[in-house]
Every structure is written in structure tokens, then in C-alpha cells.
Amino acid sequence: MKFFKFFTIFFVFSILPSLEAFEINCQFQSFILGSYGSIYQCISTNIPTLSEMMVTNITGTHYNDNTNVDVEALAIYGNYTLTFFPRGVSNFFINIKMIEVKNTAIDALFGDEFDEFPKLQFLKFYQTNLTTISSTLFDKTPKMISIRFQYNMIEKVGYDLFTPLNITQIKEINFEYNKCINAYSGNALSVLGMFYEIREKCPYNDEFSTIKPKCRCIYWGRKDNNRKVKEDC
């Protein structure tokens, strides 16, 4: 019996490091992002496929006297078994303004993935298994400038997805080559129309949405006279 207890305790402590050690190994480099200028980024291609989503350590060698504080972009490439977006990155990188995810098995964004990045402006999420985007994905990232979801398998997009954003500062939205939509907007004038097109073609009235599918009001005469003849809201 004592041997069994000893073995159990030894076994539990022997596996704890593997459960807690969720590391992201970074290749650090700088690149030019258009008129925005130089951005210092972490590129990771070997995130382990674990059930634990919280990052406990960041490894990699900085250069040119840069530190974690200087990292403004996170790129995750080529992990075809990764099914979740890792949490806790902001414990190490507090100034993330750009996130790029490519070639992963992530099939849904549940809405809180980017809450820890209030400075986020650029999102590129492509060539993944992504089918569903929750309404609350941008609730904590009001500074978005560029949103790119091309080459995924998107079928459902939450009706309130773009509600928290400032339409006038959005410069680009890309939903090309998805199941429900194939569209791109590269200027501020067409962004609003793109929002409505996504709502129409990729309806998803998820539990967080406040807008019903295809909600619309039709007016007869001048709208300010409030003479409605049909209301589907």
C-alpha cells in the first residue's frame, strides 16, 4: 500500500512539468508594414498541441537590444494540429498590435481570443479550418484598422462582430474565398457595405448577438416622419 501511494505521488509530480510548460518559441525579426513602418515580431511555428491554452513561457533570442516590450506582432504559422488560439501571450508581449495566424486547425473563434490585446490594429487569419466567428471577437479591440479572413472555410459570422469598431478607421476587410462569402473591401467608402454583405451572406445569430437575422425597417415617404409600412425587426 505504501509503495502504491509513493508511486502515485511520484507519477503526479513527474507529469506536472509537462502540463505547466506551455512555451512559445519565437524567431524574432523586424519587417516593414506599409506606411506604419517597422514592426518587431515573434514568429512561432512549433506551438505544442495541448489541452492547456495558457502560455507559461516565451523563449527565443532577441536582437539589436530589443526586449519583449518591443514586440508588436505575433505570427503563428504551420501548426496543422493547433485547434485553439493560445491565451496569456500578453503576460509577455504587452504591446501587440498585429496578429497573423496561418495554416492551423483552428475552426472557431469564440469571442475572447483577443481580449488581452487592446492595442490590436491588424488581424490576418487565413488558410485555416475556421468556420465560425463569434459576435464578441472585437469587443476589446476598438482600434482595428485591417481585418483579413481570406482562404478559410467561414460559414457563420456573428451579427454584432463589427459593432464595437469605428467604421471610419477601418481601411481593409478581406473575406475572400470562404464558404459563405467571397468579398474584399480596400477602402473606407465600401467598408459599411461589406459589413452588411457579411451579415446577409454569413448569418449567425449567436448567443451574444443583439441583432436578429435580416432585421430591417421599410419606410414610406420621408424617414423622419416615422411612417413605417413594414417592420421585420
Per-residue pLDDT at 164: 94
Asked whether residue 5 carries a pLDDT value surpassing 80, the answer given is no
Task: With a cut of 50, say whether residue 232 has pLDDT above it.
Answer: no
Share of the chain above pLDDT 70, in %: 78
Domain assignment of residue 203, yes or no: yes
pLDDT at 122: 97
pLDDT (0 to 100) of residue 49: 67
What is residue 144's three-state secondary structure?
coil
The residue assigned the cell 459589413 is 195
| CATH number, position 82 | 3.80.10
Q: Measured between alpha carbons, how far is 39 from 41 in angstroms, rounded to an integer?
A: 6
What is the average pLDDT across 190-203?
Answer: 93
Q: What's the pLDDT at 51? A: 58
Q: Report the C-alpha gap between 232 and 54 in whole angstroms.
A: 43
Mean model confidence pLDDT for the chain: 82
Question: Percentage of residues in the chain with pLDDT exceeding 90?
Answer: 63
Phi, psi angle pair for 137, to nearest 5°: -60, -35
Query: What average pLDDT score do residues 182-203 get?
Result: 92
Q: Supply the DSSP symbol for 128.
A: S
* Comparison of pLDDT for 216 and 151, the residue scoring more: 151
Residue 102 β-bridge partners: 77, 126
Using pLDDT thresholds of 50, 70 and 90, give the confidence band for residue 17: very low
Name the pLDDT band for 187 (thresholds 50, 70, 90).
Answer: confident
Higher pLDDT, 21 or 208: 208
Residue 4, domain member (yes or no)? no
Number of other CB atoms surrounding residue 233 within 10 Å? 9
- Strands of 156-158's sheet in order across: 108-109, 132-133, 156-158, 203-204
CA pair distance 106, 187, nearest whole angstrom: 29
For residues 23 and 58, the answer to whether their CB atoms sit within 8 Å is yes
pLDDT (0 to 100) of residue 13: 35
Helix, strand, coil percent content, the chain, rounded in steps of 5: 20, 30, 50
What letter does residue 53 receive in the DSSP assignment?
-
* Position 82 in a domain: yes
Residue type, 231: E
- Domain-embedded: residue 189: yes
Classify 214 in phi/psi space as left (phi over 0), alpha (psi -120 to 50) or beta: left
In sign, the C-alpha dihedral spanning 124, 127, 128, 130 is positive
Q: Is residue 10 part of a domain?
A: no
Compute the distance between CA of residue 112 and CA of residue 135 in angstroms, rounded to an integer.
10
Domain around 170: 22-231
Mean pLDDT lowest among 99-113, 160-174, 198-212: 198-212
Extract long-range pairs of 196-205: CB within 8 Å, 24+ residues apart.
198/157, 198/161, 198/162, 199/157, 199/159, 202/154, 202/155, 202/156, 202/157, 202/175, 202/178, 203/156, 203/157, 203/159, 204/132, 204/133, 204/135, 204/156, 204/157, 204/158, 204/159, 205/159
Question: pLDDT for 20-73, tens place per residue?
Answer: 447 899 999 999 988 888 999 999 987 776 656 788 899 999 989 999 999 999
The total number of structural domains in the chain stands at: 1
Residue 209's pLDDT is 66
Give the mean model confidence (pLDDT) for residues 215-224. 34
pLDDT category of residue 205 using cuts at 50, 70 and 90: confident
- pLDDT tens-digit readout, 91-150: 999 999 999 999 999 999 999 999 999 999 999 999 999 999 999 999 999 999 999 999
Assess contact for 96 and 72: CB atoms under 8 A.
yes
